[in-house]
Structure formats: C-alpha cells, structure tokens
Amino acid sequence: MATAAAHRAAGTLMHGAADAIGEAEAHQRAFDAAVAADERIEPRDWMPDAYRATLIRQIAQHAHSEIIGMQPEANWITRAPSLRRKAILLAKVQDEAGHGLYLYSAAETLGTSREELLDKLHSGRQKYSSIFNYPTLTWADVGAIGWLVDGAAITNQVPLCRCSYGPYARAMVRICKEESFHQRQGYELLLTLSRGTPEQHAMAQDAVDRWWWPSLMMFGPPDDASQHSAQSMAWKIKRHSNDELRQRFVDICVPQAESLGLTLPDPDLKWNEERGHYDFGAIDWDEFREVLKGNGPCNEQRLSRRRQAHEEGAWVREAAAAHAAKHSNHATGTEGEQA
Amino acid sequence: MTATVATTAALALGDDALVLSHRLGEWVGHAPVLEEEVALANIALDLLGQARFLLSMVGDEDELAYLREERAFTNLQLVEQPNGDFAHTIARQLYFSTYQHLLYAQLAAAGGVFAPLAGKAVHEVAYHRDHAEQWTLRLGDGTDVSHERMRRACTALWRFTGELFQPVAGLDVDWAGLETAWLESVGDVLRRATLTLPEGPRSGAWSAGAGRQGLHTEPFGRMLAEMQHLHRSHPGASW
C-alpha cells in the first residue's frame, strides 16, 4: 500500500487547496510525488488511466511471452539427448508456465482477467515477444535460447525489479532469480556442445548464428523509433532505454562467446576504446517489423497451437466449473467433496 | 535377493517411470489450463527423477534409456499408451498412480533395496494420486460431455490394468493384497465420480504380463524412435 510521500502530498492538497485544484489533480500530484520519491504504486492506489493501460499491455505481453515461449523449447523435450538434460528442460518449461501465472496475477491486480488477456492473445490483439517466432531446429537451439534469449530477457527485466508498480516489481524479483538460473544452464549446455565432437561444436555455432540477431531485436526498436519509451521512463516503469540495454547485453555477450569458443555472426563487432563499449553492426529492422506484423517463420504455428490447446481444453474447464458449482450448491452447510 | 533379480525389478520400475514421464512431457504446451501445464510437467519431472535413480541402480542411465530396443523395455503397457484426450491421460494417471502409491508404500515398509527410493517417492506419488483422483471427480461428475469422455477413457484403458499385478521378481510385495486395495480405491473414486468400474477382461492371453516380458503395443516403438533419435545420431557423444 501507498506511500508516505503520496499521502502527504494528497493530504496537503485535499485539505488545503482542494477546491481550487480539484480532486483529480490532487490524485495526479500524489501519484507523481510517489513516483518521484521511488515509492511503489499499489493496486488500491489511484493511478492515471494511461499508466494502468500501459502496465496491463506490458505485463500481459510479458505473460503471453512466457506461455508462447514454452513452445520452442517444448519442441525438444521428447528428444532431449540425455535424461539429465531432459529433466533440466522439463523444469525450465514448468518454471515458464509458473512465470506466466505470476504475471497474469500481477495484471489482474489492475482490473483485468486472465480470460480476457488470453482472449486478446488468441485473437492477435495483444502480442508476445517476437523472438518466439523463430524455430528450434536443433538441440543446440535449446542452449542458445537459454544463453541469449534468457540473457536478453534478464538484461531487460532486472531493472523491472525496481519498476514503480509494486505487484509487477515483486513478480520480477522472483522471475529474474529463476531466469538467471536458466541462463547459466543454457550457457553450460552450449559449452558442453562446443567442447564436444566436431558435429556438436558445429551445431552450437549454427544455433548461435541463427539466434544472435533475433536476440538483439528483443530490446525493441531503436530509441528514436520507440513509441512508448519516454512515457514509460517518466513513470519509472522503464529505467533504461532500448539502445542502452542492447549495448549492455552486447558488452556482456562478447567475452562469454569467447569463453564458449564460439563466434558471433557480426563482422562489424569490435571493441571501441573511446566509448568503452563494443560497436556492432546494423540490425535488420525490416525483418523485425515483418515478424511483429505476423510474418515471421513461426507466428502462425505458435498462435494456432496456443488456440488449439485452449479450444481443445474447453470441455475440461467447463467440467471443472460444473463440478465446482454442483458441489458448492450441495455443500451448503454440509461437508462436500472438494473440487 | 540376487543382483540379477534386483536388476530386473529396478528396470521394470524404472521403465514404468521413464515411459510415463515421457508421455506426460508430450503434454507441455497443450494443457487445457496453465495450472495443468505446471502440474503435468511437475509429475513428469518427479517420474523422471525416479527413473534416473532406478536405472542408475542397473547401469548407465542414458545407455539404458537411449540404446535399448523396444523388446528390451519392461515397462507396463499401460504407461506407454498414447495420451489421447485429457480424460485418457487422467484415467491412465488414476490407474497408475494408485498402483504406484500402494506399491511404493509396501516397498518402503519392506525395507529391501528399494526402500530408500520408495520411502522418498511415496510422497511425490501421493500427490500424483491426489491430482488424478481430483480430476477424475471433476470430469466424471462435471458435464455430460466430460462424464462420457471419462467413462470412455476408463473403459479403454481397463484391459491394461491386469498386468499391474503380475508379480515382478525381486519385489517384496503382497501382490494379491495390492490388487484388492487397488480395486477398492479405484472403485471408490469412480463411484464418487458417478462412474462405475469398467466391465470386461483386465488382461488377455495376449497381454498378461506382456510389457514386463518386452512385448509392447504398436505406438511404443514410435515413441522410442522420437526419444532416442538424437542420442543415437551421435554415438559416444556427451551432452
């Protein structure tokens, strides 16, 4: 719950110049004061409609990404080449479903419902991360997703642990811990392949070649083309710009790739002494836009699969609801079987 | 108990867990609600953990999982049955987890070589059994559609249940008592779910003890082909 500074600001305004300024503006000032003081906004606090809408959009898309993101990895569960790797992968996709659940719950604190959000996903009105529209073609892709995709996600998400909206920030603390564990596992998988047979090494290199650029696209459009960035940063939902985070990610990955004994598919990648950062080549923003528009390699497949699971599961959800209804009716005052 | 007999028993129990785990892993991304994505993956992971422990009692877990042919697997035919719809998966879980829970309780009490594993796993399996029972109640006593699907699923898998009580050499178990307790428990859950125990044979000449003898149903070979393909494509590689 709120927020000493917010209450002070609201109290002063409400008791003092409330007539002149009006209740709405008092709320707005209290909200601004809380954000400025790095306090958390909580579900019962007043918030601007646009802040609520932005958070619903962002948290929902984050949740959808966890759910759709299960598919490219689940593609390899039944083919994992050792029982240890299979167990790690099963645990990982289970975590992702759990992350989806936390995030839908966080979104629900803003006055929406999981059903409504899933409906928006299934009808294409809300998006998920563009990265999951790429196919997993070999076992090494599971490692590349762990190292690069989860690595990019962590770079994006760690600052969200300090996001101004409390429920989202707290979900991110928990999610980031598990994600960094997954990322290390992905790195270790690639390292094993890289040091394995020549075929395994080639498999690892091929996967990194295919996943590198899409991972850089995960940070979103360049700063000058990012429509939500400025407002999100002012609200302290976002803490760093897309390009800053992308640069941070590149700087982390280059030495890791060297330790892996793998190369990154960018001839323009080189250390810039003056900037203290790696320079890197141009991203293919046309490809990015096409994938966002639904024309990536797996957009159709991912969404169909999700819709299919939902539709084929309808009778199960209806059964659970009918059972619960029967037993809550029967059980008035008596002990009923638990659903 | 000789080493060979313990090996036979560890393989039988390990193969059950390995194969059912694999089938449940096929559900990931297809479950009817997110909570079931978590639950089914969780059960698959528990079973895989049991399989790894049991196969490691016999030899190298990966050699045993990935390099044996279909005829060398000794799992029950029940656990290799394709997932079908959610009701089929739940019926398979109800039959198997009730069996495994009762079996592991006996093995834990008997104090033999399987007692340490059984004593630990019995807690996981109690959760699997509860999950299957709760869904059997929801589907059986849910809508007309779900009732009919659950009834059909229980009937379709019934003929694979006789095999559960064929004694396995090396397991210190009261098989007749296990069967009685199983029939009572499953019968009770089905009754509460407004269903009845299916009629018809629980095994035939063609299936009595067949899985334990390495005689499987046709879908199993295809399942193994998918499971083993990558490992077999890179002989000797480490993963």
CB–CB of A104 and B49 under 8 A?
A: no
Q: How many CB pairs under 8 A join A and B?
A: 144
Angstroms from B230 CA to nearest CA on chain A: 6
Domain contains A22: no
Going from the N-terminus, what domains does chain B have, and what CATH number goes with each? 3-233 (1.20.1260.10)
Q: Closest approach of chain B CAs to the CA of A22, in angstroms?
A: 44
- How far is B19 from A101, CA to CA, in rounded Å? 28
Is A15 inside any structural domain? no
**Bridge partners of A191?**
none
Record: contact B139-A319, CB cut-off 8 A = yes
Give the nearest partner residue to A94 out of B30, B38, B134, using CB atoms: B38
For residues B142 and A323, the answer to whether their CB atoms sit within 8 Å is yes
> For B103-148, how does the pLDDT look when each residue is reduced to its tens digit (9 = 90+)?
999 999 999 999 999 999 999 999 999 999 999 999 999 999 999 9
Suggest the residue from A65, A73, A77, A329 to mutate for an interface test with chain B (most B CBs closer than 10 A): A77
A19 domain residue, yes or no:
no
| Number of structural domains chain A divides into | 1
Mutate to test the interface with A, among B35, B36, B38 (most CBs of A within 10 A): B38
Confirm or reject contact between B193 and chain A (CB < 8 A). Answer: no
**pLDDT of A15 above 80:** no
Interchain CB contact of B235 with A (< 8 Å)? no
Is pLDDT of B2 > 80? no
* pLDDT score recorded for residue A7: 56
Residue A295 belongs to domain spanning: 27-322
Question: What letter would DSSP give residue B168?
Answer: -
Task: Supply the pLDDT for residue A3.
Answer: 53
A312 with B37: Cβ contact below 8 A: no
pLDDT value for B215:
93
Q: What is the pLDDT of residues A40-75, one digit of tens each?
A: 999 999 999 999 999 999 999 999 999 999 999 999
Report if residue A338 sits inside a domain: no
B32 contacts on A by Cβ (under 8 Å): 309-310, 312-314, 316-317
What is chain B's Cα-based Rg?
Answer: 17
Question: Does A294 fall in a domain?
Answer: yes
Provide mean pLDDT across the span B41-51.
98
Q: What is the CATH number of the domain that holds A73?
A: 1.20.1260.10
A96 domain residue, yes or no = yes
The SS3 of residue A276 is: coil
Could you write out the three-class secondary structure of A296-330? Answer: CCCHHHHHHHHHHHHHHCHHHHHHHHHHHHHHHHH
Q: Identify whether A18 is part of a domain.
A: no
CA–CA distance, B239 with B231 (Å, rounded to integer)? 9
The answer to whether the beta carbons of residues A2 and A34 sit under 8 Å apart is yes
Token pair for residue A46? 């007043």
Which of B85, B107, B86 is CA-nearest to residue B16? B107
Residue A75 lies in a domain: yes
Chain B CB contacts of A70 under 8 Å are 28-29, 37
